Amino acid sequence: MPTYNLYMGCSVPANYPNYEAATLKVAEALGMELIYMEGVGCCGSPNLRAIDYFGWLLVNARTLAIGEKTGHDIVTPCNGCFGSLKDVLYHLKHDEEDMKKVNQELEKFGLELKGTVRVRHVIEAMYTDIGIEEIEKKVTRPLDGVRIAIHYGCHLLRPADVTEVTPDIFDELLRVTGATVVEYPLWKQCCGATVLPVNEPLAVRLARDKLKSIKDAGAEFIMVVCPACGNQLDLQQFGIKDTYGEEYNLPVLFYPQILALAMGMSEDDVGLSMNRVPADPILDHLTG
């Protein structure tokens, strides 16, 4: 059974325990052993990178070193954590001087980072290590071809030399549940979450444009793999109603929620009632 270091971050457990629960349940069903990392904290987010580059390197290098010690890959369900860990690892592997400086500090925690650890999005690990064929065998209650649009999230895909992830694997993973993947013009566009602290109207506008593009393309649901993107696209629909007078009614689901339902798990198993825009209409699309 493949074993992983599970880096949960702070946003998923605090804001989207339904994403956390669905991820754990799906991973168990697929035969992946996810072990919560011991003694780790927050990644600091891009905000920390913006004001305190060295502090950001250090906190993430510490997490990487803790993971490296176990010999298992680090997996996370959050694009923000994923981006931070990938970026820091990439930088330190390309900058001997900073690697040395960071290791001097890590020594205080009895840790050392060599740079051999791998960081992955937990859903990419499902695709690569378990495989579509195995996942398909577990789908007992497929969706009826319902039209779902994927918002991948910026820090999952870019910069590609750092993240080493391509979007097509998420398309395949969604298709295997029986859903239809809806293409839409703004698929690459940011959800706007990162600009919330400094320009909220701009953040709302970005979410609105994204939702409009998805709705116009005929999607009925949105799939996400990041708590920040999920929050922005789900919760912001209420703000958009106030600001733009537009109602999108697009339920936002985390991928493991969709897969779990298609595997026959219940709506309570995946905490469907916690999704802000009521997501239970997805239940009507399950067959068998």
Residues with Cβ < 8 Å from 127, sequence gap 6 or more? Answer: 135, 169, 170, 172, 173
Best CA proximity match to 209, nearest among 180, 244, 183, 181: 244
Residue of the chain from 53, 134, 140, 167 that contacts another protein (CB under 8 A): 53
**285 belongs to the binding site for another protein (CB under 8 A):** no
**113 belongs to the binding site for another protein (CB under 8 A):** no
| Helix, coil or strand: residue 143 | strand
| Helix, coil or strand: residue 235 | helix
- Which of these ranges, 11-19, 126-134, 213-221, 259-267, lies near another protein under the rule CB under 8 A? 11-19
- Read off φ and ψ for residue 17, nearest 5 degrees: -60, -20
**Beta strand residue intervals within 94-245, DSSP E:** 119-121, 147-150, 180-182, 221-224
| Helix, coil or strand: residue 162 | helix
**195 belongs to the binding site for another protein (CB under 8 A):** yes
Residue of the chain from 189, 235, 239, 244 that contacts another protein (CB under 8 A): 189
Pick the closer one to another protein by CB: 114 or 188.
188
Residue of the chain from 18, 84, 236, 275 that contacts another protein (CB under 8 A): 18
**267 belongs to the binding site for another protein (CB under 8 A):** no
Q: Which residues bind another protein (CB under 8 A)?
A: 8, 10-11, 13-15, 17-18, 20-21, 24, 36-42, 44-55, 58-59, 62, 91, 95, 98, 105, 109, 154-155, 158-160, 188-190, 192, 194-195, 197-199, 202, 206, 271, 274
